[in-house]
Structure 1
Amino acid sequence: MRRERAARLAIAVPMLLLALATIYPILFGLNVSLKTRKDYVLDRLGATQTINLQNYTDAWVNADMGRYFLNTITVTVVSVLLILLLSSMCGYALSHLSFRGSKVAFLVILAMMMIPFQVIMVPTVKVMNDFGLIDSFPGLIIAYVAQYLPFTVYFMTSYYSGIPKEMTEAARVDGNGLFGVWWRIMVPTGKPALISMGILNALFIWNDILIALLLMQSPEKRTVMVGVSTLRGQYPDNVPTYIAGVMLAVLPIIVIYLVFQRQITAGVTAGATKG
């Protein structure tokens, strides 16, 4: 019993510290965003004595956060749909279809996962500029798909590898072509993994600032994270308003995670088990 309690404490204490380290910045930011400028200058660390929602109004209206949200939602939805479509097809092909070069293709995908964007950002910008895709939503969507597709393909390949080939062979015998097998067998069976990858990729894209900052130059085409970063320049002496903008930007992320945390955990766990 003592060993079991000690083992539980050894796990619980680090997890508790990690949870506090994650939650505290959010609570601190919420506290600062509700302060007036004067209250923040007089007491930066103390709890707010007022609820000043004007900071949120100023951040939303003056920084044009509504436009940034619309831009980000559009880019995120289209990018995630394309990533899921392509990764599901690629995962099916790499896990259940035998063709020349399949192993090489899988190794190339693994290699692409190990290359950070900072290494290829200069060639990426040059290629996008050559094709006239700089400062355009299609260009940004293509960049996001290229950046996050390799990991999703790897995950879906791992997940689909756990599906018996007898299922796909039986579907072929019933008269389904390759597309029919993918649509009727692989997509429904891989739904947990697709949901999990969709949510995770949506969070990655929503949080991105580097790719959007490099490719989107017009102020009206900024994404929400880039727009929030410009708030610091607009309100250099008004930290509460700046933090209010940050809280507006991260609120959808928090809501999505709280609503879909079970789906994320279930999908990742299933993928790891099947892989």
Structure 2
Amino acid sequence: MKFAISYSTPFYGVDPEKLVGYAQHAESCGFESLYLPEHIVLYPGAMFGQSEIPPTLPYADPLDCLSFVAAATRRILLGTGVLLLPYHHPVTLAKRLATIDVLSKGRMRLLTVGLGTLPGEARAVGVDFASRGRRADESIDVLRLLWGGGEEGVSFHGEFFDFDDLCSFPKPYGVTQLPIHVGGSSRAAARRAGRRGDGYFPGGALTPQERAGQLDLARSTAARAGRDPDAIEYTRWGSIDMSTERVEALAAEGVTRVVVGAGSTEPERQRDELSAFAERFGLLDSRVDQPGPGPG
């Protein structure tokens, strides 16, 4: 089992010293990776389920934050949970992600993408909310095409993106592709993970039966697409106070990574929570005190 930590800027704030201190302490504790969420814009009346989202929550740009963190850390992998893929142009995004990966020496390896649930957010960036799923699918294809292309250039002609003979450099650090995980709480997300994802990261508000059904759907979709279903990583949310028994139960369900977040907003208390978690699960014993994965 791999253990990751999340940093929620809407609740912890965007103080640079707190962000860096959190990431550095997580790295020293032996956490594998650090995840940040995304909302591009909010607005009065935006809803998450039955709850209104306060429009003043400070959702910082996750990729800018991860680049900032990368400069202050050595080993911890960088992730998004989730990046709203339909609201980014994939040609620009391919360059941003590859740049972070190069500058961090191969640590931008846990990109998790989702569709977004706020129609007003889609309107704000000029994206048709109803077609955002198809747009995300094309974006994944464009990202991989650009990362894998050479000096002769690559071309793409789709519903949303159209170009000829483009070259995108630098390439990711030592690899031809960056992993793309798919997040979401729907069967459509599970199918997307099976067709195109390197991993699946479902949301939190699902019944055990629906979770199991979605994982089966992701794997069966991968098999039908000629992909290896066992190669799809399975990430789930957990809690900072979760027990070893709970982690064992998740492992039995096929989970390969658990993401938790500190319950406190106070840095000292956050450090205590991360340290206690790391001690409970032996992260310090398995820590590797060297830079990230590097080429290969």
Same fold at TM > 0.5: no
Return the structure number with greater strand share. Answer: 2
What TM-score comes out, normalization by structure 2 length?
0.22
More RCO (CA 8 Å, sep 6+): 1
